[in-house]
A and B are shown apart, each in its own frame.
Chain A
Amino acid sequence: MASNPQTDPTLEALVAQKYRHGFVTDIESDTVPPGLDEDVITFISRKKGEPQFMLDWRLRSYRHWLTMKEPHWAHLRIQPIDYQSISYYSAPKPKADAPKSLEEVDPKLLETYDKLGIPLHERARLAGVAVDAVFDSVSVATTFKERLHKAGVIFCSFSEAVQKYPELVEKYLGSVVPYTDNYFATLNSAVFTDGSFVFVPKGVRCPMELSTYFRINAAKTGQFERTLIVAEEGSHVSYLEGCTAPMRDENQLHAAVVELIALEGAQIKYSTVQNWYPGDENGVGGIYNFVTKRGECRGANSKISWTQVETGSAITWKYPSCILTGDNSVGEFYSVAVANNYQQADTGTKMIHIGKNTRSTIVSKGISAGHGQNAYRGLVKVLPSAINARNFTQCDSLLMGDKCGAHTFPYMEVRTPTASVEHEATTSKIGDDQLFYCLSRGISEEDAVNMIVNGFCKAVFKELPMEFAVEAQNLLAVSLEGSVG
């Protein structure tokens, strides 16, 4: 049967979801007044008791940032960001000092996590997942330190790493994303307040999935997280990042930097489920998410794989990338991006092939609903040195309704004749015939949409660790169907 071209009003109603995690925790913050100058940066650095090299690096970054221009993109509609109206440091006031165990953590914080569906105790007990939960800018709880410690794995907040392992931080910080890299990464380098640090020594398989939940809480607070993951020769690590933010009327800037370094034979798997407040149905509020994520397969036979599920943010601008320096190294990118209401997602990846026989795989699934605009932007660059490099790219777009859009911009730059680069792209509308097929089997419209969308994303979801895959499916359900009541 021919499908009906008209938009299904019920489908639209389903798509018009309400954000579930919209609440603000009332905790007195230790916040610097809005504005940015060298004093503020020095304040942050002092506040965190950093060694001189860190402060120097921050200031170098700041001075470089002043010479840079904010980038502009054809496919994003952006309200101008006033960098002087942002407060660059905000920490929840600890009861005494830093909490040494979960019991010492402010019960209100724990309550917040509970509302977000991250009961720390539960997680700790059940899954064997170490959680380094970041609340605003300061890590408030770290579990499973012991077990990791025994294996020789370092997993701590960035601040702690700067204190305890300054030589590691100094060696690797900025070695994949230099402080001069781009406007937002440079800003981050100047003002970042915290984040996570992971170090897996030679030959060690990290005994558990490492997981961090980020959360933006205080009003008008920019978030500048920094994550650094180093996997030494032959080591393995899987890292999970999850985000969800409470409801806000002003747009909030988030400019994180993630650096991954895989030495010879090492494997890093980095998974993100991102659920920041996307703005209301008119596009008001929501998080501006400008993230620089990059991994380098520095050693031969190493592998980095990025998996991301993006359901939130007003604006997402994000290209997790792999630099394949080592011979035979492998880069992977699996992505699901949802753009609903007035959300704008501009995501993709860059695969830079430098070493011989390097391979990369890109699977991108874009879902657009409402007035959402989804753009995939990918660059596959094969340098002359990358003999026999291989890339496979698959980009699929799913449209729900007729007011949304999907755009694909694949760029290829291949400078060796021995390389093979393949690109496949499809765009489909969520079929009325598929929907009706499910309905005629007794399945509700909500479940049916959920089922079809999840089916569309399957190739990406199967790359996620088990517990994350379930969460990702739930998130998709929330972002596309709305929980009734």
Chain B
Amino acid sequence: MLTIKNLHALAGEKQVLKGLDLEVGAGEVHAIMGPNGSGKSTLAQVLAGREGYSVTDGSVTYKGKDLLALPPEERAREGVFLAFQYPVEIPGVNNVYLLKAGLNAIRKHRGESEMDAFEFLTLVREKMNLMQMDESFLNRGVNEGFSGGEKKRNEILQMAVLEPALALLDETDSGLDIDALRVVANGVNSLRRQDRAIVMVTHYQRLLDYIEPDKVHVLSDGKIIKSGDKSLALELEKRGYDWVKQEAAA
């Protein structure tokens, strides 16, 4: 589904990604862990196509296509979804309106008909139920005045509605209380499918108790320096990152 080879990228002027390789197959769940500032969010932004992040070398192939050649909205329509580490507030724009516009743009791209208001609301209500979100969130401005945890929940609601093929979750677990973490994790788990890949950036093993990853990677200084199964996360939790860095340097 996703093949990243030797990816070098600048965030602004700064060389952040320095030869990153990653292979994610359909149906798989990958966790990316790593120290602050190592480039995890940069990777997510580069994959989603954010301006200001430029690729200087390497390639990204998604479903056999050159992902980097597509503008961000095309990537979204092709099924790439990014749950932001810091979801943005857009005052005055209805949460539900944004979601509907997004869904219909994606459906149109797939050659499907646009959803009418009734169908759409039925769908959103069902997903909101899943996320245990109050209906009042529908009519509020996008993330406007949402608490940190509510914003994260809203990201996963969007994922549930947009049904991406490749979901990138950037620290979706940070800022969630214990109950919310379970709800969000259940939400994500219910979205696990044979034809869908999920890449989660996280700092905490706890999330992985709920969402079991097929693979765990350590991103340090712009590269994946170690990969393993879920036991790697447990080990990192116990021992921190230094030993991995040393091992990689050796």
Interface of A toward B, CB cutoff 8 Å: 1-4, 6, 8, 431-434, 436-445, 447, 451-452, 454-459
Task: Contacts A1-B41, A1-B45 given; indicate if A436 touches B92 (C-beta within 8 A).
Answer: no
B93 within 8 Å of A (CB atoms)? yes
B192 within 8 Å of A (CB atoms)? no
CB <8 Å contact, B72 and A440: yes
B175 within 8 Å of A (CB atoms)? no
Q: State which size class the interface on B falls in.
A: 35 or more
CB <8 Å contact, A452 and B76: no
B52 within 8 Å of A (CB atoms)? yes
Nearest-Cβ distance from residue A17 to partner chain B, whole angstroms: 20
**Which of A2, A432, A443, A456 contacts B101, CB < 8 Å?**
A443
Nearest-Cβ distance from residue A198 to partner chain B, whole angstroms: 32
Known: A8-B51, A442-B76, A457-B92. 5 other contacts (CB 8 A): A6-B52, A434-B90, A440-B50, A452-B93, A455-B141
Task: Contacts A1-B45, A4-B51, A442-B77 given; indicate if A447 touches B101 (C-beta within 8 A).
Answer: yes
* Bound: A436/B48 CA distance, A: 9
**Which of A431, A436, A442, A458 contacts B50, CB < 8 Å?**
A436
Chain B residues whose C-beta falls within 8 Å of the C-beta of A440 in the assembled complex: 48-50, 72-73, 75-76, 81-82, 84
**Which of B49, B50, B106 contacts A1, CB < 8 Å?**
B50
- Which interface residue of A4, A437, A452 has the most chain B CB atoms within 10 A? A437
**Which of A2, A437, A447, A459 contacts B90, CB < 8 Å?**
A437
CB <8 Å contact, A441 and B92: no
* Bound: A442/B82 CA distance, A: 11
**Which of B49, B52, B76, B86 contacts A441, CB < 8 Å?**
B76
Nearest-Cβ distance from residue B78 to partner chain A, whole angstroms: 9
**Which of B51, B89, B99, B109 contacts A436, CB < 8 Å?**
B51
Chain A residues whose C-beta falls within 8 Å of the C-beta of B72 in the assembled complex: 436, 439-440
* Bound: A43/B141 CA distance, A: 57
* Bound: A4/B87 CA distance, A: 17
CB <8 Å contact, B98 and A451: yes
Closest to A396 in B: B91
Chain A residues whose C-beta falls within 8 Å of the C-beta of B82 in the assembled complex: 440
CB <8 Å contact, A444 and B90: no
* Bound: A441/B103 CA distance, A: 8
- Which interface residue of A1, A433, A456 has the most chain B CB atoms within 10 A? A1
Task: Contacts A439-B73, A443-B105 given; indicate if A432 touches B51 (C-beta within 8 A).
Answer: yes
Q: List 10 A-B contacts (CB under 8 A).
A: A4-B51, A436-B50, A437-B142, A439-B73, A440-B72, A441-B99, A441-B105, A451-B93, A452-B93, A459-B92
Nearest-Cβ distance from residue A460 to partner chain B, whole angstroms: 10
Chain B residues whose C-beta falls within 8 Å of the C-beta of A455 in the assembled complex: 90-93, 141-142
Chain B residues whose C-beta falls within 8 Å of the C-beta of A456 in the assembled complex: 91-92
Closest to B52 in A: A4
CB <8 Å contact, B105 and A452: no
CB <8 Å contact, B102 and A443: yes
Chain B residues whose C-beta falls within 8 Å of the C-beta of A3 in the assembled complex: 52
B205 within 8 Å of A (CB atoms)? no
Nearest-Cβ distance from residue A415 to partner chain B, whole angstroms: 36
* Bound: A441/B97 CA distance, A: 12
Nearest-Cβ distance from residue B197 to partner chain A, whole angstroms: 17
CB <8 Å contact, A445 and B97: no
* Bound: A324/B103 CA distance, A: 49
Cβ proximity bits B32-45 to A, threshold 8 Å, 1 near / 0 not: 00000000010001
Nearest-Cβ distance from residue A293 to partner chain B, whole angstroms: 26
Chain B residues whose C-beta falls within 8 Å of the C-beta of A1 in the assembled complex: 41, 45, 50, 86
Nearest-Cβ distance from residue A420 to partner chain B, whole angstroms: 26
Nearest-Cβ distance from residue A445 to partner chain B, whole angstroms: 7
Within 8 A of A (CB), among B21-79: 41, 45, 48-52, 71-73, 75-77
* Bound: A8/B72 CA distance, A: 14
CB <8 Å contact, B88 and A441: no
Task: Contacts A443-B101, A444-B73 given; indicate if A454 touches B45 (C-beta within 8 A).
Answer: no
Closest to B109 in A: A442
B162 within 8 Å of A (CB atoms)? yes
Within 8 A of A (CB), among B117-174: 141-142, 158, 162
B12 within 8 Å of A (CB atoms)? yes
CB <8 Å contact, B76 and A439: yes
Chain B residues whose C-beta falls within 8 Å of the C-beta of A459 in the assembled complex: 92
Nearest 6 Cβ contacts at the A-B interface:
A455-B92, A441-B102, A455-B93, A458-B92, A442-B76, A4-B52
Nearest-Cβ distance from residue A8 to partner chain B, whole angstroms: 7
Chain A residues whose C-beta falls within 8 Å of the C-beta of B109 in the assembled complex: 442
Task: Contacts A2-B12, A434-B90, A451-B97 given; indicate if A441 touches B50 (C-beta within 8 A).
Answer: no
**Which of A432, A436, A441 contacts B98, CB < 8 Å?**
A441
Nearest-Cβ distance from residue B88 to partner chain A, whole angstroms: 4
Nearest-Cβ distance from residue B91 to partner chain A, whole angstroms: 6
Chain A residues whose C-beta falls within 8 Å of the C-beta of B51 in the assembled complex: 4, 8, 432, 436
* Bound: A395/B82 CA distance, A: 34
* Bound: A437/B45 CA distance, A: 11
CB <8 Å contact, A444 and B88: no
* Bound: A434/B88 CA distance, A: 6
Closest to A458 in B: B92
* Bound: A123/B155 CA distance, A: 42
Closest to A459 in B: B92
Nearest-Cβ distance from residue B141 to partner chain A, whole angstroms: 7
Nearest-Cβ distance from residue B24 to partner chain A, whole angstroms: 18
* Bound: A339/B109 CA distance, A: 34
* Bound: A376/B103 CA distance, A: 38
* Bound: A459/B141 CA distance, A: 12
Chain B residues whose C-beta falls within 8 Å of the C-beta of A436 in the assembled complex: 48, 50-51, 72, 88
* Bound: A437/B85 CA distance, A: 12
Task: Contacts A436-B50, A451-B101 given; indicate if A441 touches B158 (C-beta within 8 A).
Answer: yes
Nearest-Cβ distance from residue B113 to partner chain A, whole angstroms: 16
* Bound: A291/B141 CA distance, A: 35
* Bound: A173/B99 CA distance, A: 52
**Which of B88, B89, B162 contacts A442, CB < 8 Å?**
B162
Nearest-Cβ distance from residue B191 to partner chain A, whole angstroms: 16
Nearest-Cβ distance from residue A97 to partner chain B, whole angstroms: 50
Closest to A455 in B: B92
CB <8 Å contact, A438 and B98: yes
Nearest-Cβ distance from residue A14 to partner chain B, whole angstroms: 13
Nearest-Cβ distance from residue B207 to partner chain A, whole angstroms: 22
* Bound: A433/B84 CA distance, A: 11
- Which interface residue of B71, B88, B158 has the most chain A CB atoms within 10 A? B88
Cβ proximity bits B177-221 to A, threshold 8 Å, 1 near / 0 not: 000000000000000000000000000000000000000000000
Chain B residues whose C-beta falls within 8 Å of the C-beta of A439 in the assembled complex: 49, 71-73, 76
